[in-house]
Structure 1
């Protein structure tokens, strides 16, 4: 077990590296923090492995062989089909992530489906996770005959089925993981200690991939709830990160109590950073990855909170850290190309461009290459 001194030294080591290199430290999402392998399972590191490759540290390399699938994939939603919506450039489709000292295997659809034979994989979270689900479906669907694939819908869940492989790739809308309900007074109440309404969909799934951070970091004006609730206590104001920690702890308790690590693999993907003006960034008219990442642009709190929760769990959850590598890709957002509009309309919309979601093909394809390598 790491000592307090070890943790303190780790923190200062992270802080210095953050200013000197272009990436994070741990495996995936919002701003990194040094984590002892014995404390948290990492995407790139098996507890019993003597060789570690940190996928989160590296650089973007231009590769003419990308994208990995046809931009006309029929499973893409309008908001991410940036080419169809008039985006004039396409280089954002051609960057692959090259970790320092190793490589991520190119996505192989048949190999992935072979690993998933007779299994269910479910991606759980917000619209960014929906982004990743669409990417994963497009990565595999091209090798499946037309009559042997279909999409079904069930409440907040949707599933892509490959009949020959008896495989389903599913998405569940649960951006906060815990339950958001309407009160009798028509107020939106976030129940920090209730989760079963969402968790009932997770039972029986072989591979669960979670994300939850974007909605927790919305400002007061865009918050999705009016009150928090714990037990019978209704709370108007609470620190966002304290609430996030409570919500994640409810999720962690459910996983610990209800899932068997011999039957289910659980992955938590870190936060996909926004490149909006509030953070001092912008994504409009960007055509290349950023050459470096600055600590000032993205606060580390969500990942620190997540790591703290995972460390206390009995269940071996894998943390997939995509935050720093993704922070470099402000060129990959839909910007004003989230729907087909005239050039004049695009200019008027510039102030409200989408700098959160991702054009497809694009950045989430790399997350799925990492996911396939893990599985």
Structure 2
């Protein structure tokens, strides 16, 4: 019926032969005709009951062992739906699907949206191909509604939304500004709140009393320069993993929607501090300093960010974790001539989630699940805006050399940010879908 193998430490593998079947996580056993032909006697009945009890105990034991051996971390790659399935209700998984051709014009263009910045304005800066704009995300089991700007603005009437994170978070905010531009243009009120209006932006849609903001915080936690030569693209920095960055922590309390994200900055050399003490570093090459992985720093940054949100007395907002956005450098690292010149998406057969992208993704999701569980005690909502796997398939969506002015003396290609319009617009389709879902849940709860 089965045999047990110990193929790797602390994990037992059970191989079932064809007479045993798997049905939704439970085991069933084919009953043979010879067993059915037993005569019914007190002895045989007792024997059958004992045998059945042993079989049930054995299958429960097998079920426990196999469940304990199925952590995604043990596989070379996996599908993000395996993780999401733990908490998703039996509804359509909008994050599982494929990019499909979409010949219609995009929602906006660099000519129709006057809020686009040059970093994302690939067409203005000379990108010759346009096919990257003609793909749309199609979930496997349902239709993802088109982004409806009027509907979005009605949902957020009298409310506020902020993006907390790095420049990829701003990339999503710029997409949202352009998606809404066919209905309304906001007033830029950034100067009323910050002297650093390049990184801290606020917009106000007066007709809807809606505020949209970005708090630039690439590590989510407090940071400072540690390189004696000054700040540069890859200079050494201090991270204080148990202290939230006040740039957002002091401002976010009264926002209704908070979209948190971070990623690429954690690859640079970093010295980690906790409890006002240095605990080690990542890629710093300092003598006698303990090496600590970037994954540890990443985990603690999100843990601190989520716990900070939970600790804010007046915070009643919905927190969305927008998951890690992979880069697509080929033919070299980002600072060694790497580029991203592809003009079509990958298929799910060509590219799988693995390596550092998988580790970053799993780290985020684990911290979100812990925050979600703790947040329910205060009535706080933490939601997963899962973009990692879908963006892994879009090497064609980056600016590459078309995300900077050709007159600037910069040799680094941009394979981190995303062209507008482009695949990043799907993030806001997801966001609107999830906001509507939250509204439906709230209504059902009141009813």
TM-score by length of 2: 0.69
1:307-322 equivalent positions in 2, closer than 5 A:
307-313=365-371, 314-315=374-375, 316-322=381-387
* Bigger radius of gyration among the two: 2
CA 1:300/1:115 → structure 2, altered by over 3 Å: closer, same or farther?
A: same
Distance 2:224 2:77 in 1: 42
Is there any run of 5+ residues in structure 1 with no aligned partner, and where? 19-23, 27-32, 39-44
The answer (yes or no) to whether the contact 2:324–2:357 under 8 Å persists in 1 is: no
Structure 1 position 232, deviation (Å):
2.5
Could you tell me which residue of structure 2 aligns to residue 193 of structure 1? 242
CA 1:190/1:91 → structure 2, altered by over 3 Å: closer, same or farther?
A: same
1:190-339 equivalent positions in 2, closer than 5 A:
190-195=239-244, 197=246, 198-216=248-266, 218=267, 222-223=268-269, 225=270, 227-237=271-281, 238-258=292-312, 263-277=316-330, 284-292=340-348, 293-296=351-354, 299-313=357-371, 314-315=374-375, 316-339=381-404
Could you tell me which residue of structure 2 aligns to residue 63 of structure 1? 102
For residues 191-211 of structure 1, give each alpha carbon's deviation from its aligned partner in whole angstroms, at most 9, with x where no partner exists: 111115131111100000010
Q: Which has the higher contact order (CA 8 A, sep 6+)?
A: 1
For residues 299-323 of structure 1, give each alpha carbon's deviation from its aligned partner in whole angstroms, at most 9, with x where no partner exists: 4111111122122221231111111
1:1-375 equivalent positions in 2, closer than 5 A:
6=67, 8-9=69-70, 11=72, 15=75, 18=78, 24-26=79-81, 34-35=83-84, 37-38=86-87, 45=88, 49=89, 51-72=90-111, 73-144=113-184, 149-153=187-191, 154-155=193-194, 156-182=199-225, 188-195=237-244, 197=246, 198-216=248-266, 218=267, 222-223=268-269, 225=270, 227-237=271-281, 238-258=292-312, 263-277=316-330, 284-292=340-348, 293-296=351-354, 299-313=357-371, 314-315=374-375, 316-341=381-406, 349=411, 352-375=412-435
Structure 1 position 35, deviation (Å):
4.4
Distance 1:268 1:3 in 2: 31
Distance 2:149 2:393 in 1: 27
Residue aligned with 1:300, SS: helix
Greater CA drift, 95-104 or 246-255 = 246-255
CA 1:311/1:163 → structure 2, altered by over 3 Å: closer, same or farther?
A: same
The answer (yes or no) to whether the contact 2:77–2:358 under 8 Å persists in 1 is: no
Figure out how many residues of one structure are paired with residues of the other and give that number: 338
Distance 1:303 1:296 in 2: 10
Distance 1:55 1:282 in 2: 32
Distance 2:147 2:116 in 1: 18
Distance 2:158 2:64 in 1: 43
Distance 2:84 2:218 in 1: 25
Root mean square deviation of aligned Cα: 3.0
Distance 2:172 2:353 in 1: 25
For residues 239-279 of structure 1, give each alpha carbon's deviation from its aligned partner in whole angstroms, at most 9, with x where no partner exists: 21112222222112212222678x31110010110001358
Residue aligned with 2:213, SS: strand
CA 1:16/1:260 → structure 2, altered by over 3 Å: closer, same or farther?
A: farther
Residue aligned with 2:108, SS: coil
CA 1:3/1:308 → structure 2, altered by over 3 Å: closer, same or farther?
A: farther
Structure 1 position 56, deviation (Å):
1.9
Distance 2:433 2:413 in 1: 33
For residues 74-107 of structure 1, give each alpha carbon's deviation from its aligned partner in whole angstroms, at most 9, with x where no partner exists: 1111111111101111111121100101121100
Residue aligned with 1:168, SS: strand
CA 1:326/1:188 → structure 2, altered by over 3 Å: closer, same or farther?
A: closer
The answer (yes or no) to whether the contact 2:353–2:392 under 8 Å persists in 1 is: no
Distance 1:308 1:201 in 2: 26
TM-score by length of 1: 0.81
